[in-house]
């Protein structure tokens, strides 16, 4: 099954906690603090797999987590770094932020990309020893790893894209010019997902052609499978617009050409300006030359190159392939999208960003900055509690509480910590 869009959640590993430990050795008095540091959490890394052509692997598994860092131990032993998680994706996959839709990265050049970074490990108590505090009984906890909800979109990497209404002969044309074997039948929407084929022109000259499933009117607004098909044309440097010149289904080739080009422009202004070659197909069963004459006049009037072909009879195919190769020599390389989000920015982590709620004589404080502070405090140690109180006062949180009207004896609740406020 061809899957070209998937939503996943990734979480990098959290850093390990620093250790509170003291050196114990025979004949060594007052060995001092020797708690080791926590290990760094593993990253979540995206890597291009040239053997993948669909996002099928992400249909059933949607949550990915890297390994957490190990906690530090005594004797100055640091915790083990968490193992990074490598997620393989097809070449041409675009990563977007699920909430904003902003482009994070384009996996088209083959390089790896770190989607979520692991948290740093916490310091052990060996780092907090001073001449006046020789036995610190607290250490820092590790920082949490980054977490992101993203959307993966596969945009096929092809030089030439075949576009047109359903049942105009695009799959037949691809099967003739390449060794691809798309499904071919005499009914609409035979092709339900894009097919790729390599077209050999001559020694050292070849290009990749994509058979895009038939587009219908309203596709730019999502009609049918509009957006699912149109996204695969985005990267094509050249379009071959296939129309049914025979009018076998009572369609007018000029109207078909105008309708599809209108859908391309409404989906993307850049796509509407993309270079095109017009392939008038099914000329071998042409009964009335009038529609083809009008198509020829329309193309001359609008500066479009027209090729009269029959994919089934292999008529005019070589001329079309040579013209496509000639155009590709002059066109720029395949589009690689520039990221709109340069790097991941975690949520607010400043004392100014905490929220304060007041219920009778209880004041509830919440915020990431407070969560990190609480994780780094050993409330069973007097010096650590003094550090906690001093940090709240120096950060201006007590001043905010006093401005809001807190009174002596009121209860301050910070996550699972509660204490009575005293000026």
The correct CATH number of 160-330 out of 2.30.30.230, 3.40.630.30, 3.30.300.30, 3.40.50.300 is 3.40.50.300
Q: What is the pLDDT of residue 27?
A: 83
Over range 209-231, report the average pLDDT: 60
Over range 316-327, report the average pLDDT: 93
Over range 38-57, report the average pLDDT: 90
Does the pLDDT value for residue 15 go beyond 80? yes
Three-state secondary structure of the chain: CCCCEEEEEEECCCCCCCCCCECCECCECCCCECCCCCCCCCCEEEEECCCCCCCHHHCCCCEEECCCCCCCECCCECCCCCCCEEEEECCCEEEEECCCCCEEEEECCCCCEEEECCCCCCCCHHHHCCCCCCCCCCCCCCCCCCEEEEEEEECCCCCEEEECCCCCCHHHHHHHHCCCCCCCCCCCCCCCCCEEEEEEEECCEEEEEEECCCCCCCHHHCCCCHHHHHHHHCCCCEEEEEEECCCCCCCCHHHHHHHHHHHHHHHCHHHHCCCEEEEEECHHHCCCCHHHHHHHHHHHHCCCEEEECECCCCECHHHHHHHHHHHHHHCCCCCCCCCCCCCCCCCCCCHHHCEEEEECCEEEEECHHHHHHHHCCCCCCHHHHHHHHHHHHHCCHHHHHHHCCCCCCCEEEECCEEEECCC
How far is 169 from 56, CA to CA, in rounded Å?
A: 28
* Residue 114 banded pLDDT, cuts 50, 70, 90: very high
Q: What is the pLDDT of residue 60?
A: 86
Superfamily the domain 1-154 falls into: GTP1/OBG domain (2.70.210.12)
Over range 311-323, report the average pLDDT: 91
Does the pLDDT value for residue 224 go beyond 50? no
Q: What is the pLDDT of residue 41?
A: 96
Over range 228-245, report the average pLDDT: 82
* Residue 219 banded pLDDT, cuts 50, 70, 90: very low
Cβ-proximal residues to 29 (8 Å cutoff; 6+ apart), any chain: none
Q: Which of 92-106, 242-256, 341-355, 380-394 has the lowest mean pLDDT?
A: 341-355
Between 340 and 199, name the one with better pLDDT.
199
Does the pLDDT value for residue 238 go beyond 50? yes
Does the pLDDT value for residue 185 go beyond 80? no
Over range 378-392, report the average pLDDT: 84
How far is 256 from 316, CA to CA, in rounded Å?
A: 21
Q: Which of 182-191, 260-269, 315-324, 401-410 has the lowest mean pLDDT?
A: 182-191
Q: Which of 115-119, 236-240, 344-348, 366-370 has the lowest mean pLDDT?
A: 344-348
How far is 155 from 291, CA to CA, in rounded Å?
A: 35
Query: Which of 247, 65, 103, 98 minimizes the C-alpha distance to 165?
Result: 247
Residues of the chain with CATH 3.40.50.300: 160-330
Mean pLDDT over the full length of the chain: 85
* Residue 149 banded pLDDT, cuts 50, 70, 90: very high
Between 230 and 174, name the one with better pLDDT.
174
How far is 298 from 304, CA to CA, in rounded Å?
A: 8
How far is 398 from 401, CA to CA, in rounded Å?
A: 5
* Residue 222 banded pLDDT, cuts 50, 70, 90: very low
pLDDT in tens, 288-310: 888 889 999 999 999 999 999 99
How far is 191 from 186, CA to CA, in rounded Å?
A: 11
Q: Check residue 282 and give left, alpha or beta (phi > 0: left; psi -120 to 50: alpha).
A: left
What values do phi and psi take at 339, rounded to 5? Answer: -65, 140
- The percent of residues in the chain predicted with pLDDT above 90, rounded, is 33
Q: How many CB atoms lie within 10 A of CB 359?
A: 9
Between 381 and 182, name the one with better pLDDT.
381
Residues of the chain with CATH 2.70.210.12: 1-154
| Single pTM value for the model | 0.72
Does the pLDDT value for residue 192 go beyond 80? no
Q: What is the pLDDT of residue 182?
A: 62
Between 277 and 236, name the one with better pLDDT.
277
271: tokens are 């796509």
Between 238 and 333, name the one with better pLDDT.
238
* Residue 68 banded pLDDT, cuts 50, 70, 90: very high
Q: Are 274 and 332 in contact (CB under 8 A)?
A: no
Query: Which of 61, 79, 76, 225 minimizes the C-alpha distance to 142?
Result: 79
Question: Architecture of domain 351-420 in CATH?
Answer: 2-Layer Sandwich (3.30)
Q: What is the pLDDT of residue 225?
A: 46
Over range 119-126, report the average pLDDT: 90
Residues of the chain with CATH 3.30.300.350: 351-420
Between 256 and 349, name the one with better pLDDT.
256
């Amino acid at each position: 099954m061809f899957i070209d869009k998937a939503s996943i959640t990734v979480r990098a590993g959290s850093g390990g906690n620093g250790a509170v430990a003291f050196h114990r050795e025979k004949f060594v008095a007052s060995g001092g603090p020797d708690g080791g540091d926590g290990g760094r959490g593993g990253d979540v890394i995206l890597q291009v797999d040239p053997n993948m052509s669909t996002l099928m692997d992400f249909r059933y598994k949607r949550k990915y987590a890297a390994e957490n860092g190990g906690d530090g131990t005594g004797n100055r032993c640091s915790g083990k770094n968490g193992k990074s998680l490598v997620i393989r994706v097809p070449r041409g996959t675009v990563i977007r932020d699920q909430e904003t839709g902003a482009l994070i990265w384009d996996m088209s050049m083959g390089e790896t990309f770190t989607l979520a970074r692991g948290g740093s490990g916490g310091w052990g108590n060996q780092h907090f020893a001073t001449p006046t505090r020789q036995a610190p009984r607290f250490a820092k906890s590790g920082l949490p790893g980054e977490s992101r909800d993203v959307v993966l979109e596969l945009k096929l990497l092809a030089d030439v894209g075949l576009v047109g209404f359903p049942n105009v002969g695009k799959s037949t044309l691809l099967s003739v010019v390449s060794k691809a074997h798309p499904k071919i039948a005499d009914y609409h929407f035979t092709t339900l997902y894009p097919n790729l084929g390599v077209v050999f022109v001559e020694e050292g000259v070849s290009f990749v052609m994509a058979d895009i499933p038939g587009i219908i009117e309203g596709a730019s607004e999502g009609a049918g499978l509009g957006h699912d098909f149109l996204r695969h044309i985005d990267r094509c440097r050249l379009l071959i617009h296939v129309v049914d010149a025979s009018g076998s289904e009572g369609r007018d080739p000029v109207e078909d050409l105008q309708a599809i080009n209108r859908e391309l422009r409404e989906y993307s202004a850049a796509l509407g300006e993309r270079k095109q070659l017009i392939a008038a197909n099914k000329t071998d069963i042409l009964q009335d030359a009038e529609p083809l004459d009008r198509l020829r006049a329309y193309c001359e009037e609008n500066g479009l190159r027209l090729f009269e072909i029959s994919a089934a009879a292999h008529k005019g195919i070589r001329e079309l392939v040579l013209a496509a190769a000639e155009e590709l020599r002059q066109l720029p390389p395949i589009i690689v999208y520039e990221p709109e989000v340069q790097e991941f920015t975690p949520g607010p982590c400043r004392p100014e960003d905490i929220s304060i709620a007041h219920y009778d004589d209880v004041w509830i404080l919440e915020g990431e900055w407070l969560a990190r502070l609480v994780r780094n405090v050993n409330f069973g140690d007097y010096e650590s509690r003094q550090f906690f109180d001093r940090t709240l006062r120096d950060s201006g949180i007590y001043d905010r509480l006093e401005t809001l009207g807190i009174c002596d004896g009121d209860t301050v609740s910070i996550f699972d910590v509660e204490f009575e406020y005293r000026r």
